Amino acid sequence: MRAKNPVSNQWVLPTEGLVEACLFLGVEQHREAYELGVRNLLMALDSHGSQGEFEEGYGYASFTLAAMLHAAQAMAVAGDRRALDHPFLRNFPTWLVHHLQPGDMTINCFDAGPAYHAAEHTRPLLSLLAACLDNPVAEWALAKQAGGSTSDVPGLLARAQLRRGSAKPPPLFATYERAARVNWRSSWRNDASGVWVRGGHKLDQHDHQDRGHVNFIWRGRPILIEAGTPDYGNRLMRVEYSSGVGHNILQLGTDFPSDAGNPGKPFPLPGWQKVGAIAPISVQRLDARGGDVTVSCESGYDGLARWQRRVQWRADRLSVTDDVALAEGKTNVILFRWHLGTAQRVTIRGDGSRGEVAWPDAKMTLRASAPISISQVQLPDNTLIGHIGAEDAGNNHTCVVVQSCERQASLELKTEIRSHR
């Protein structure tokens, strides 16, 4: 509160308490305190995206929005709809539902944890949204994607809303400027295909080194994933989860980050993407057939003149073209990771500037402007399964590492992934 940072979930909780205490004790007897609480609540709502984007991602939204909604609903019952009618709250249900990916997965950027069991993880908040906002998208998602409402008081109220028959699905794709993301799916069936691409907004705070990350699900099967987020106490949190190691992005050089046990320190090594870097997304095409977008990520790295990532896709294939150029006079090993939605070992073939990676679900072909080496490594996973304890390292997935054989001033790499079945 002293820092005046209304984006934070920690701003909302005392604000909710103040508003509801004044409503319980009597607004007229505590008008000054009530108006302070309402102003603080409106500041929090204003700090997020007008399209319903929550700054800290889906995971933190799951509990912060509950506090916002309880306060806003209590105000509305007392005749004050300033919060409940705010554009952020009215549009939030669509933004939330757009996190639902095929295969019962969610878009798990920021600190959203795992991606599995999407219906289970979103059902409580969808129930509250339907009960408080009378929102047709939340009602549709409850009935068609989450398996019905919860059995608590908000869930019982939501069931009454569902009986009215006003539910409707949101569009299958969207571009979110404040959330710096494009998301798409081929249909609302669970065995559909899905893609999401992450950029970076200038106001991002609580996020990962994930600018340029690409996620791909084919017919409900995860093909490209990110590592996810375990318990904050996990000793690998900064090294192999929230860092660039945990995402499908560029790294310059091969040194790993230090200070792994201290999540408050920035990554000290050159060649690593800066948290909070701006990475705008340009959309050439986004429709029912697929998409064509470009992410400009160069501002996140020291010594990098250009990293343009173009992502093109249809339901059964995805293509990524990376154009990398270092600042004048600089060379380095140029490295990319591709986190796969499997723990199986993959088959790697290649020579010179070309290569092929195959596993039961898909085949990846790689073509580069200079000789590359291709290898595989097992990395910890909190996207496909999830950890039980803070130090549990029993869940892994396969990661393909592609890097230039020599230090380069530039590199163009084209990666194509097609379904194998």
- What integer pLDDT is reported at residue 61 of this predicted model? 92
210 and 140 both lie in a single domain: no
Last residue of a domain, which of 147, 162, 177? 162
128 and 221 both lie in a single domain: no
196 and 153 both lie in a single domain: no
Residue 415 has pLDDT above 90, yes or no: yes
Model confidence pLDDT, tens digit, residues 149-169:
999 998 988 888 777 777 889
Domain membership of residue 156 (yes or no) is: yes
135 and 210 both lie in a single domain: no
207 and 272 both lie in a single domain: yes
Domain membership of residue 215 (yes or no) is: yes
- What integer pLDDT is reported at residue 118 of this predicted model? 93
Give the residue numbers spanning the domain of 300: 191-419
143 and 59 both lie in a single domain: yes
Residue 419 has pLDDT above 90, yes or no: no
35 and 96 both lie in a single domain: yes
Tally of domains in the chain: 2
116 and 230 both lie in a single domain: no
- What integer pLDDT is reported at residue 267 of this predicted model? 59
Percent residues over pLDDT 70 in the chain: 95
Contact 319, 390 (CB under 8 A): no
29 CB burial (10 A radius; 0-12, 13-18, 19+): exposed
- Name the residue with higher pLDDT: 323 or 237: 323
147 and 214 both lie in a single domain: no
Q: What is the mean pLDDT of residues 194-220?
A: 95
Cα–Cα distance measured from residue 375 to residue 402, given in angstroms and rounded to the nearest whole number: 7
- What integer pLDDT is reported at residue 32 of this predicted model? 97
Residue 296, beta-bridge partner list: 308
Model confidence pLDDT, tens digit, residues 59-88:
899 889 999 999 999 999 999 999 999 999
Model confidence pLDDT, tens digit, residues 12-61:
999 999 999 999 999 999 999 999 999 999 999 999 999 999 988 888 99
- What integer pLDDT is reported at residue 263 of this predicted model? 47
Phi/psi-derived region of residue 117, left when phi > 0, alpha when psi is between -120 and 50, beta in every other case: left
Residue 352 has pLDDT above 60, yes or no: yes
pLDDT band at 237 (very low <50, low <70, confident <90, very high): confident
- What integer pLDDT is reported at residue 260 of this predicted model? 45
Cα–Cα distance measured from residue 382 to residue 379, given in angstroms and rounded to the nearest whole number: 10
Domain membership of residue 186 (yes or no) is: no
Residue 386 has pLDDT above 90, yes or no: no
Domain membership of residue 169 (yes or no) is: no
Domain membership of residue 1 (yes or no) is: no
Domain membership of residue 175 (yes or no) is: no
309 and 243 both lie in a single domain: yes
Cα–Cα distance measured from residue 395 to residue 323, given in angstroms and rounded to the nearest whole number: 33
Cα–Cα distance measured from residue 399 to residue 420, given in angstroms and rounded to the nearest whole number: 18
158 and 209 both lie in a single domain: no
pLDDT band at 268 (very low <50, low <70, confident <90, very high): low
Residue 351 has pLDDT above 50, yes or no: yes
Residues 6+ apart with CB under 8 A from 25: none
Last residue of a domain, which of 162, 177, 203? 162
Residue 389 has pLDDT above 70, yes or no: no
- What integer pLDDT is reported at residue 258 of this predicted model? 61
Domain membership of residue 216 (yes or no) is: yes
- The reported pTM is 0.94
217 and 326 both lie in a single domain: yes
Q: What is the mean pLDDT of residues 279-289?
A: 97
Query: Pick from 265, 212, 207: which is nearest to 56 by CA?
Result: 207
Domain of 298, CATH number, reads 2.70.98.70
Percent residues over pLDDT 90 in the chain: 79
Domain membership of residue 4 (yes or no) is: no
Contact 41, 15 (CB under 8 A): yes
